[in-house]
Chain A
Amino acid sequence: MAKTKNMKKEMSRLANLTKGFFKENPVFVFLLGLCPALAVTGTVEASLGMGLLVIFVLTGSNVVVSLIRKWIPHQIRVPSYIVIISTFVTIVGLLTEAYAYALHGELGIFIPLIVVNCLILGRAESYASKNKVHDAAIDGFGMGLGFLGALVVIGFFREFLSTGAIAYGVFLPLAETPGSIINIDSYVFSMDAFGQAPGGFLVIGLLLGIFNFVAILKRNKKERERQRMIEEKKRQALERKRQKAQEKAGAKA
């Protein structure tokens, strides 16, 4: 009995961690954090950098909000969350400037602007302030991973379409000398517009379309499955009814 309970708990934690990946993806499902998703996803590395910073801030702020949730008076909860989030953002800004200077230069004003990323305040208000510390931490980390994943996917398409390459070691200390994991020397993949704001809109729009299309397919499949199960139950019930009627008739005879 206790083993089953523990397993259920583990399963629920795993679901909590992974819900942000697809089902409740902040960018593609809730359309949260679109400002950085448009502004800094010109390259995979910048997207990765922004995603990592958001994971740090989101997990940190969720943990602190959850820790002190019972002490914060209701009427000042939002200003308190903002102070906590902005503290983490300031710290992450200083750390980036110290340990990933190129990334700091690339992201620029968008690091301080993490403060106004509605994903972070949203998770603090809707989840961390109502749940235990470890659950809040898992939620923050999972949602952050989902955000990072979305940014990296957008960044991949944008960088590839605008340069024909996926570079590494330019903004993040991933290698001693910058290089590229893909490099197709073709004019087809030199569509500068994808590296700029219009390209951001286009790629996000297309990915949102794909995401929604897949979600609709899944929903339809689920619906069909549900209908099938209902039909099956109906059939079984009918079968039982028929059997009972036959038994009744046999008994009478």
Chain B
Amino acid sequence: MANLLEKMKVAAVLLIIGAVSGLAIFGTHTLTEERREENRRMAQLAIYLEMFDGAVAPDDDDIVAIADSSVKEMVTMRDGSGNILGYAFRGEGRISHGDITVIVGIDLDGTIVDVKIADSTQTPSYVQSVRDHYLPKLIDQPIVAMNYDFTSEIAGTSASAGMTFGNVRRIIEDARFIAGDFLSDPIMDAYESLVPDVVSFETFVVFDRAFKEELLVKDDDENTLAYAYLMDLDIDGETVTYVAAYDETEFIGITVFAFDDVPQDAIDAVWAFEGYWNSDFNGLTFDVDGEIENTIAAALTELNTFVENRTWINANTLDYVETLYDGDTVTGYMFIGRSQGLMSINVLEVYLDETGAFQGFTYNQSGDSLNWRTPLIERFGAYEGQTEISQSEAEAAWDDVNPNAPDGETSATGTGQSVYAVISAALDYYSDTLGDE
């Protein structure tokens, strides 16, 4: 009985301390809420104004709340005469490290003016690394063709900040998408002229060919309507971005992001391809006159060949396979697949030869640490020529990346598992499907 009373006393003391603490915190929270919110607003406003030269504080009508997106607010920035200077997007992200508030400024040309981390409870050194090494590389990038390749060049401690940057990137991507809607010319206009029901578009695969990015063009229900390809072509010394669209069977058409500085003849050149719109892409050749038209046609022909040689899989982590030719002879296969890695989804290019033997792989897109993913290319390279890679061989590949880790678990395990998922799916697909053809 005495013991029970003692325990009840302990419980009562804890309860009272907890209740009083809770009340004190609640009271302070309530009393300071308005002021804290005001402080946050003022700090954000200062960033908005800093981003756009000559901007004045926005009216309430210029601030639009956004739902169902990492971007929570879009602010139209104007000068003293009411002319629109651009848009500021405030986004919020959360990972296990903590929360982050990011502000992205986009001008009327669809260029990133600035990206700033307004607030963060994430690991300060990672946030600082993102500020120092990642954000400056985003400034002046056109939102129609964002390039995140620089992330693979960042190494050491700063690479560990990749997870924090993943948060920032997500917000930029959402801002980019929303901006596409508001900056109807020239970005959304281009997409809409090709696929009228387009609501959003997202990067799917990046290439280092005549076409540099493949995007999924989606409708309101997130259904993929078409595949768009961005082609940066040198027209009279100016880089002009053309966008071609395909669906499962047809070449839908080609247009251009007609920014103010794009020469009119570069814009007019797309009309030479009008006759090819909505044609079956198999065996399609582009016969046009004119220097610019021929430059476009050469890039388009390379793209069309890729589309012809590509077979959609959309299963078992594989997106599609491209058959590689030397003339009429099949020389191998390039699979595009994706799987969840340790920090992000890894998009891989897996290469097999014409007999289905593994030739190697590269990362098409990855947010995982360079320290873990780079050695895996060499480790899996040891299995070149094999038509099967067993689970134990794969584990040996990633265990070897950090043999000093305890219990056989290594930092590279998550990345290695995602790599192996795609490679084994490609090998299985060859033995089940391509090998029988």
Residues of A within 8 A of B (CB): 39, 68, 71-73, 75-76, 79-80, 83-84, 86-87, 90-91, 94-95, 97-99, 101, 105, 108-109
Total number of A-B contacts with CB less than 8 angstroms? 62
Cα distance A202–B20 in the bound complex, in angstroms: 43
Q: Name the distance in Å between A6's Cβ and chain B's nearest Cβ.
A: 35
B119 within 8 A of A: yes
A-B pairs with lowest CB-CB distance, top 10 = A98-B32, A87-B21, A101-B39, A98-B35, A91-B28, A97-B36, A94-B28, A98-B36, A90-B25, A73-B10
B298, CB-defined interface residue at 8 Å: no
Asked whether A109 and B14 contact (CB < 8 A) given A73-B9, A83-B21, A98-B39, the answer is: no
Interfacial chain A residues near B124, Cβ < 8 Å: 39, 108-109
CB proximity to A under 8 Å, residues B122-136: 123-124
Q: Which residue of chain A is the closest to B128 with respect to CB atoms?
A: A196
Binary interface encoding of chain B residues 28-52 relative to chain A, with 1 for a CB under 8 A from any of its CBs, else 0: 1100100110011011000000000
Q: Which residues of A contact B9 (CB under 8 A)?
A: 73
14 CB contacts below 8 A, A to B, read: A71-B13, A83-B17, A90-B25, A91-B24, A94-B25, A94-B36, A97-B36, A98-B35, A98-B36, A99-B35, A101-B36, A101-B39, A101-B42, A109-B121
A83-B18, A98-B35, A109-B124 are contacts. A76–B10 as well, Cβ < 8 Å? yes
| Known A-B contacts A87-B25, A94-B32, A98-B32; A79 and B14 likewise in contact (beta carbons under 8 Å) | yes
Shortest CB-to-CB span from A41 to chain B, Å, is: 14
Q: B328 near A: Cβ within 8 Å?
A: no
CB distance from B425 to the nearest CB of A (A): 41
Q: A94-B28, A108-B120 known; A80 and B36 CB under 8 Å?
A: no
Highest count of chain A CB atoms <10 Å: which of B17, B39, B119, B124 = B17
The smallest C-beta distance from B258 to any residue of chain A, in angstroms, reads 42
Query: Given A71-B13, A79-B14: A101 and B43 within 8 A (CB)?
Result: yes
Chain A proximity of B140: nearest CB distance (Å)? 26
Binary contact readout B107-124 vs A (1 if CB under 8 angstroms, 0 otherwise): 000000000000111011
Q: Which chain A residues lie closer than 8 Å to B13 at the CB level? A: 71-73, 76, 80
Chain B: residues with Cβ within 8 Å of the partner, total of 26
Complex Cα spacing A99 to B124, Å: 22
B interface, over-half SS: helix
Interface positions, chain B 120-165, Cβ under 8 Å from A, are 120-121, 123-124
Question: CB-CB < 8 A to A91: which residues of B?
Answer: 24-25, 28
State the Cβ distance, A90 to closest chain B Cβ, in Å.
5
What residue in chain A is nearest B119 (Cβ atoms)?
Answer: A105
B6 interface residue (CB < 8 Å to A): yes
**Chain A nearest CB, measured from B322 CB (Å):** 47
Does any Cβ of A come within 8 Å of B98's Cβ?
yes
Give the residues in chain A near B10, CB-CB below 8 Å: 73, 75-76
Residue of B39, B42, B98 with most partner-chain A CB within 10 A: B39
Q: Cβ of A39: which chain B residues have Cβ within 8 Å of it?
A: 124
CA distance A206 to B124 in the complex (A): 26
Task: Provide the residues of chain B in CB contact with A99, threshold 8 Å.
Answer: 32, 35
Residues from chain A with a CB closer than 8 A to the CB of B14 are 76, 79-80, 83
Which residues of chain B are near A79, meaning CB under 8 Å? 14
Interface-centre pick from A68, A73, A86 (highest chain B CB count, 10 A): A73
A84 touches B17 (CB 8 A): yes
CB nearest to A97 among chain B residues: B36
Q: A76-B14, A91-B25 are in contact. Are A109 and B36 (CB under 8 A)?
A: no
User: A86 CA to B17 CA in the complex, in Å?
Assistant: 12
Other than the given A79-B14, A86-B21, A90-B25, 10 more pairs (CB < 8 A) read A68-B17, A73-B9, A80-B17, A83-B14, A83-B18, A91-B25, A91-B28, A97-B32, A101-B39, A108-B120
Bound Cα distance A73, B21 (Å): 18
- Chain B residues in 8 Å Cβ range of A87: 20-21, 24-25
Is B98 touching A109 in the complex (CB atoms < 8 A)? Answer: yes
Q: Is the CB of A108 within 8 A of B121?
A: yes
Contacts of B32 in A (CB 8 A): 94-95, 97-99
Is the pair A105, B121 in contact by a Cβ cutoff of 8 Å? Answer: no
Residues in B289-328 with C-beta less than 8 Å from chain A: none
